Amino acid sequence: VQTSLTSMAESRMVWPDDHVAVQRIDECIMDLIVVNMLPYSVVEGEAFKRLKIGDPLGAHRYKVKSEKYYRTTLMPATYDKVVKHVTNLLQEATWISFTTDGWSNPTKSCSLLSFTGHFIHDAVWRKVILSVTVLEQDHDGKYLASKLCEAMTKWEIAEKIHVGVRDNAANMKLAMRLAGVADIGCMSHTLQLVLRDALFTQTSVEVVIKKARKIVTHLKHSEQACRHLVEHQQTVKTPEHSLLQDVETRWNGMYLMLERLVEQRKAVNLYSVQRSGIDSFSLAEWELAARVVKILKPFYTATLEICVDDACISVVILLVSNLNNMLNTTAADQGLKQMKATLRDAMCCRFSDISSLAPFLAATLIDPHFKDTYFNVQKAVAAKKVVLNFLRSVQESAMKNMTAPSAASPIDNVEPGLESSETSESGAQEEDDPWAAYDSQPANQLTNYLKELRLPRMTTGIYAYWHCSQYPLLEAAAQKYLSAPLISVASEQLFSAAGQLYADR
């Protein structure tokens, strides 16, 4: 009986803070706060206490900690643990690419600069938020470059950087150059600039968009108007879809708004005739809206493809080529020829150097979905040279690490202009055969890889392919050239969360 009473008393005792169960529960609550981005004060809310975390049967053995404990004790410990894990991942990564972007809150009282790392680890393309820096000075190129260098130095990754992905602002381009980083523009942002330059600056298109916004605003923000629109949809037998309001900073939202309006043309016209409150499109405006929707559809499809979480720059050359082909005019393009010509000029201006930049050439060649299929002869040779030059540098670095410093070779001691006939002969061979300078092993692996059938687009992932491929040398190139993301979506997601959480107070 005494033993039973003792056991009952112990079962009602509050667990000490160093109890294993307490530590596990505290960590779970910390994870809840971090992952769901909840305020620390959630642990002091009445509803949270009613959950009886850790003892749902009401034994009251776990005592919920205060908000201060999670903020000042457990959060720093959790942060240190995550930093250690991320540091280990970065140390194991061979090459790292990054995205960076700026953000300001609506009142312009706070500005941030993001820095997210992207790399391949264990056949998985990984992304990590490495820093979010408060900007306290003018956002000129020199200041932004200093912040980028700070982030690279802090994480000790400066020597591993492949490319940085940024928007097309002049200050960001300058920052990358001053920081000594190879950089590429965000594909999504560049497409938006193409459409802004070529389409959204046309007066007639601007008028249609403004009018569309007024129509949608009226029909979406009035319960009575929504109900009447549904009645008209039933009358004219159009799909009972709601109209879509666009976001002015996102062209794809404008596209979806116009697409839905064109779909609901009959219902909207009937509403404007029988009800007051909206000024519907004229016949010419409806036709213009339909043309805009038709010409924007391929751009919208391309945007969906590049906005997936693991989109890689290897797809850029293909997408740009497809969009340019779509913009070639045909006899059936009645009313679209001028619009297409303007867009084609804007594409040429914004993407003129895509097919000649080493990061895009190499990434496309190393992607088993594409290889050299979308290259002409000159571009194929250029892409192969980029990859083989990289592999040669890897081999040379490996040889330097394996051998001790030695005396200069006879060739190194030959005076300028007095090289041996063998050297001259070798140079002549290189001119005739661009692959003569390369070790046969990388060249042979690249040749055999290109002879294989391409992978279907919707099957095996490129990172899993290289992880278990029979071309270990080329895998080293894949680690570098396939690490670069296509867009700065990681930074955008970060700032989307920041916009919801940040308050001036």
Q: Are residues 9 and 152 in the same domain?
A: no
Spatial separation of the C-alpha atoms in residues 169 and 316, rounded to whole Å: 20
Position 502 in a domain = no
Q: Are residues 39 and 56 in the same domain?
A: yes
Q: Is beta strand 124-134 parallel, antiparallel or unpaired with respect to 161-166? A: unpaired
- Report the chain's mean pLDDT, rounded to a whole number: 85
Position 318 in a domain = yes
Q: Say which residue, 329 or 311, is predicted with more confidence.
A: 311
List, for residues 384-425, the tens digit of each pLDDT value: 999 999 999 888 887 777 764 544 433 333 333 333 333 334
Q: Which of 185, 207, 237 is the last residue of a domain?
A: 185
The one-letter amino acid code at 361 reads L
Q: Are residues 136 and 44 in the same domain?
A: no
Q: Give Cα separations from 8 to 4, 58, 63 (angstroms).
A: 6, 14, 19
Specify the number of domains making up the chain.
4
From the number of C-beta atoms within 10 Å of its C-beta (0-12, 13-18, 19+), residue 376 rates as exposed
User: Which residue blocks in 351-471 are alpha helix, DSSP H?
Assistant: 358-366, 377-402, 421-432, 440-451, 462-467
Q: Is beta strand 96-99 parallel, antiparallel or unpaired with respect to 161-166? A: parallel
Position 412 in a domain = no
Q: Say which residue, 28 or 14, is predicted with more confidence.
A: 28
Range of the domain at 232: 192-350
Is the pLDDT reported for residue 268 higher than 90?
yes
Spatial separation of the C-alpha atoms in residues 433 and 361, rounded to whole Å: 20
DSSP state for residue 374 in the 8-state scheme: T
Mean pLDDT comparison of 173-177, 307-311, 325-329, 410-414, highest-scoring range = 173-177
Position 170 in a domain = yes
How many residues are present in the chain?
Answer: 505
| Percent of the chain predicted with pLDDT > 90 | 55
Name beta bridge partners: 119. Answer: 126
Query: What DSSP line would sit under 152-187, residue for residue?
Result: HHHHT-GGGEEEEEE-S-HHHHHHHHHHT--EEE-H
pTM of the model: 0.82
Mean pLDDT of 218-237: 92
497, 37 Cβ separation under 8 angstroms: yes
Position 242 in a domain = yes
Query: What is the number of other CB atoms lying within 10 angstroms of the CB of residue 128?
Result: 18
Position 196 in a domain = yes
Q: Are residues 376 and 477 in the same domain?
A: yes
List, for residues 150-166, the tens digit of each pLDDT value: 999 999 999 999 999 99
List, for residues 5-26, the tens digit of each pLDDT value: 455 555 567 888 888 988 999 9
**Which is nearest to 436 in space by CA: 385, 474, 361, 395?**
385
Describe the crossing of helices 187-195 and 337-350 by its angle, rounded to 10 degrees: 140
Query: What is the number of other CB atoms lying within 10 angstroms of the CB of residue 255?
Result: 21
Which of 68-82, 238-252, 402-416, 458-472 has the weakest average pLDDT? 402-416
162, 182 Cβ separation under 8 angstroms: yes
Position 323 in a domain = yes
**Which is nearest to 361 in space by CA: 344, 345, 374, 346?**
374
Spatial separation of the C-alpha atoms in residues 80 and 165, rounded to whole Å: 27
